[in-house]
Amino acid sequence: MTLPLEGIRIADFTHIMAGPYATHLLRLLGAEVIKIEAPGRGDAMRYYGNDRSRDGMAPAFVAVNAGKKSIVLDLKDPDSLAIAKRLIERSDVVVENFRPGVMARLGLDYPVVRALKPGIVYCSVSGYGQSGPLRDWPAIDNIVQATSGMMSLGGDPGDPPMRVGFPVVDTLTGLTAAFAILAALFRRQRSGDGEYIDVAMMDASLAFMTSAVVPFLVTGRPMERTGNTGYSGQPTAALFEAGDGKLISLGVVQQDQFHALARILDRPGWLTDPRYATADTRRANASTLQQAIKESLSHRSAADWESRMSAAGIPCGMVRSVEEAISLPHLRTRGLRIPLQDGDSPLTESLQVLNAGFLFDRDGPTVAEPPPFRGQHTTEILDWLQVTPPVRTKIVERSQ
């Protein structure tokens, strides 16, 4: 197997989620990712969650660090800084997600790194970017969910703002960074030129919300909150209760889909009823139509309707918990769940992570190794960089 990014080496100065998710995606594609961690606790994500028995290898850390290597370096120490620079000289990509100005204070900002390796691709991930009035504001996922307007979009009119229930901003920012890095590597392959990439969580969030933001730019009207009604605003693209009390989401937005819905619900009269003749008239009579749909769905379970409607070409899906969704046999055939090789500790036994979310015909994204313990590869990397005592001894001691 030859993965697309085999031979690409990444010096990974990231921590928590957004940056590590970017390098995680690149690792799944075959890049070698060397994670530089601070002495002591290392990446704070190692300790996220309430289960102290998993300290050092918290599930949130496992999710975005499988297959990486870890070296402990104190970047404020001249000897460690020299080793970091030596590592960068042998790398293709540098990724960091400190607040703007930190890498410059450490002596590892883009001008310095470019002088070491002119063809380097250097990606900085931050809350609000490397420029602009908000540049120095601190930010984490839930903060940018608030400041970007994301929190204001969900729920029904009158509801209080609500955070998306997982770190969506971190994740989409990491995805944006990985996409940008791949584009820069592709251009470097053709021209030999490196690149500096400035990824802001705020920018990435608004770009991600393009279906809500651009209509406002075009019309000047803010997007209305529609709860569980789909983006189309159709009353047939909403959430309904089935006969077993479970919920099913319909996505009937096209005319032929509405006809199929009328047939499967045994409501032939809808096909000639002028109230339901078009999308506009269905919206005008939403309450009546939705009540009729609810009555029809009460005769079968959500799972039964899901199966029947899907077979009939009607977009629908029963509402599942994450546990139910990830247990679907369908995902095994898709290879979305990746079992990792057992490590040397109970904390790394029987671990699983998720794949990149796409498949290749051959040699697609994958990873086999568990996440590294803090400093697990320090000795190996120092050997490779030919670091000798007494500096080597000092670095190894700090990684313990």
Q: What is the DSSP string of 349-362?
A: TT-EEE--S---SS
Mean pLDDT of 295-310: 97
Task: Examine the pLDDT at 361 and tell me if it is beyond 90.
Answer: yes
Q: Which residues does 399 contact at the CB level (< 8 Å), separation at least 6?
A: 39, 71, 72, 374, 375, 378
Give yes or no for residue 257 having a pLDDT over 90: yes
Query: How large is the average pLDDT for residues 167-195?
Result: 97
Describe the chain by its helix, strand, coil percentages, rounded to 5: 45, 10, 45
Q: What is the pLDDT of residue 5?
A: 98
Encode pLDDT of 227-240 as tens digits: 889 999 999 999 99
pLDDT at 53: 92
pLDDT in tens, 66-83: 999 999 999 999 999 999
Catalytic residue selected from 92, 109, 141, 170: 170
- Of 99, 108, 136, nearest to 36 by C-alpha is 108
**Mean pLDDT of the residues in the chain:** 96
Question: For residues 56, 57, 59 and 60, what is the CA-based torsion angle, rounded to 10 degrees?
Answer: 60
- DSSP labels, 215-256: HHHHHS-PPPP-TTS-TT--TTSSEEE-TTS-EEEE---SHH
**pLDDT on residue 182:** 98
Question: Is 170 annotated as catalytic?
Answer: yes
**Neighbouring residues of 112: CB distance < 8 A, sequence distance ≥ 6:** none
Per DSSP, the residues of 318-357 read E---HHHHHT-HHHHHHT-EEEPPP-SSGGGTT-EEE--S
Q: How confident is the model at residue 348 (pLDDT cuts 50, 70, 90)?
A: confident
Give the model confidence (pLDDT) of 19-38 as tens digits: 999 999 999 999 999 999 99
Torsion, Cα 291 293 297 303, to 10 degrees, reads: -120
346 — pLDDT class (breaks 50, 70, 90): confident
Superfamily of domain 239-319: formyl-coa transferase, domain 3 (3.30.1540.10)
Is 263's pLDDT higher than 90?
yes
| pLDDT at residue 349 tops 90 | no
pLDDT for residue 1: 77
Domain boundaries of the chain, sorted by first residue: 9-208+333-399, 239-319
Share of the chain above pLDDT 70, in %: 100
Q: What is the per-residue pLDDT for 49?
A: 92
Kindly state the helix (H) or strand (E) to which residue 161 belongs, with its residue range.
Answer: none
Give me the pLDDT at residue 15, please: 97
C-alpha count within 13 angstroms, C-beta hemisphere, residue 374: 24
Mean pLDDT of 172-201: 98
Q: Is the pLDDT at 343 greater than 80, yes or no?
A: no
CATH of domain 9-208+333-399: 3.40.50.10540
Q: In what order do the strands lie in the sheet with 32-37?
A: 69-72, 32-37, 9-13, 93-96, 121-126, 195-200
Q: Residue 315 pLDDT > 90, yes or no?
A: yes
What's at 158, amino acid-wise?
G
Instruction: Tell me how far apart the alpha carbons of residues 287 and 1 are, in angstroms, rounded to a whole number.
Output: 56
Q: At what angle do helices 168-191 and 201-208 cross, to 10 degrees?
A: 100
pLDDT of residue 399: 87
**pLDDT tens figures, 127-178:** 999 999 999 999 999 999 999 999 999 999 999 999 999 999 999 999 999 9
